[in-house]
A = this chain, B = another copy of it.
Amino acid sequence: MKKIIGTSLLFLSFSVFGQTKEDSIQFNKISTEILNNGKGYIELKELTKTIGHRLSGSDSYEKAVKWAENKLKDAGADKVWLQEVMVPVWTRGKESLKIKVRDGKWLNLKMLSLGNSEGTGGKDISGEIIMVKSMEEYDKLLTEQVKDKIVFFNYPFRQSFIETFKGYSDAAKYRVNAAALTAKKGGKFAIIRSLSSAFDDVPHTGAMYYEDGGPQIPAVAIGNTTADELANYLKNNTVLAKLNSNCGMKGEKNSYSVIGEITGKKDKSVIVVGGHLDSWDIGEGAHDDGAGIVQSIEVLRTFKKLGIQNNHTIRVVCFANEENGVRGGVQYGKVAKENNEKHIFAIESDAGGFTPRGIALQMDNEKINQIKSWTELFFPYGVYNFEGRYSGTDLYPLHDMGVPTAELVPDSQRYFDIHHTEEDTFEKVNRRELLLGATTMTQIIYMIDKYW
């Protein structure tokens, strides 16, 4: 009953906002072109298998810059350029974490230093482990209880959230703040249970930050199985840990975001579609965020291939340094402001190359409602969820300038099994899921370009 009434209301809305049979035909052309001839999947294979992971500041990131420049040209961009940006240079190097239970032998644990963490300078740092299960529990500890200890934050990823991004947000403070909190009470270093929805032993890295001027002690992550084992040892035993790591910040370096566009036929105002070109320094950065990069390039290619006359300039931005600084996103916003470039809409894909389900919208309610009025057009493509909410890291500088911003919302169930791990590889990406994401992005940009 609801459906029937909903549909008739929608027909009413056609006259209010404009939406025609022609749009439905164009949606079909877009999906057919991308599902049959899309290059995103092959390009993702190239990026992940010939370049691999690509942390900003690394040589492989510079290779990715060249690669993206070429792909944007191949896709038919009228103009391709590099946008200079200063990025931090963080490197990992050799690292190991060992534990000793009572008078036993030192046992090696699978681990990863967190991104941005300082290491031990190649020396051993050791001490007794104390475990807390939550921030609240840690807050109750006195300084003398933490001093010279190693704090193990064993907060498990909450499985009960339906959208895993909520579980991620819930647990992220442990990764971001563990070192700073441990340092404040005189601890030697921090160990966190990985922000992982999987039931495995894969450690997840990701950005942590120190307080300005605070002590820079190391922070490392261990996988879920190791975390459970460690918790088990700690029940009845004194457990020592010994960390040796060479990671740390090695200054800054000039690098680039990569930008390509097709010029607007009526108007030079800009629609941005993007993802981030950098990744963590392990795995292949396939879902995070090779997927967003190749999907964005696919949007441009599809407009050219189908000969869709874009009123506005459609600009693909491959942002630098999202993972450990967001310098690319900030720089893009700054330059756009300096050049007085009018942006009418920006969308990013940075939640994995999984089947699309919706678009997160961060803009005024009138615009949100207009996009919602297009729901029936998207529904046959499995895209039904248009909600006003946060729209992604690289676009917040544009959002702060008043630009309506958006983010592709793919199915989130598998993302935090592999996010920031050695498991984020090309093999984990499904061709159709990836290309359907590119389809959704092309469709929304087609609508925005036509009606805004």
Contacts and interface: CB of A to CB of B under 8 A. Distances in A.
A32 B160 contact: yes
Contact of A31 (B6, B13, B160): B160
A160 B33 CA distance: 8
Interface in A9-61: 9-10, 13, 31-32, 35-36, 41
Nearest to A416: B432
Interface stretch (A103-111, A235-243, A288-296, A375-383): A375-383
Nearest to A431: B199
A36 B159 CA distance: 6
A25 B433 CA distance: 33
A309 interface: no
A2 B12 CA distance: 10
B432 A164 contact: yes
Contacts of A142: none
Copies in the complex: 2
A355 interface: yes
A70 interface: no
Given A355-B413, A436-B413, A372 B159 contact: no
- Main secondary structure, interface of A, reads helix
Interface centre among A199, A382, A414 (most CB of B within 10 A): A382
A32 B380 CA distance: 30
Given A32-B160, A355-B413, A382-B162, A197 B432 contact: yes
A159 B413 contact: no
A197 B382 CA distance: 18
Contacts of A199: 41, 431
Contact of A430 (B163, B375, B380, B413): B413
A342 to B, nearest CB: 27
B372 A2 contact: yes
Interface string A394-433: 0000000000000000010110010000000000001111
A159 B13 contact: no
A430 B164 CA distance: 13
Given A3-B372, A160-B36, A436-B162, A430 B414 contact: yes
A149 interface: no
A324 interface: no
A222 to B, nearest CB: 20
A413 B432 contact: yes
Contact of A382 (B6, B35, B357, B433): B357
Given A1-B372, A162-B382, 8 more contacts: A1-B369, A36-B160, A162-B380, A197-B432, A355-B411, A411-B411, A413-B436, A414-B433
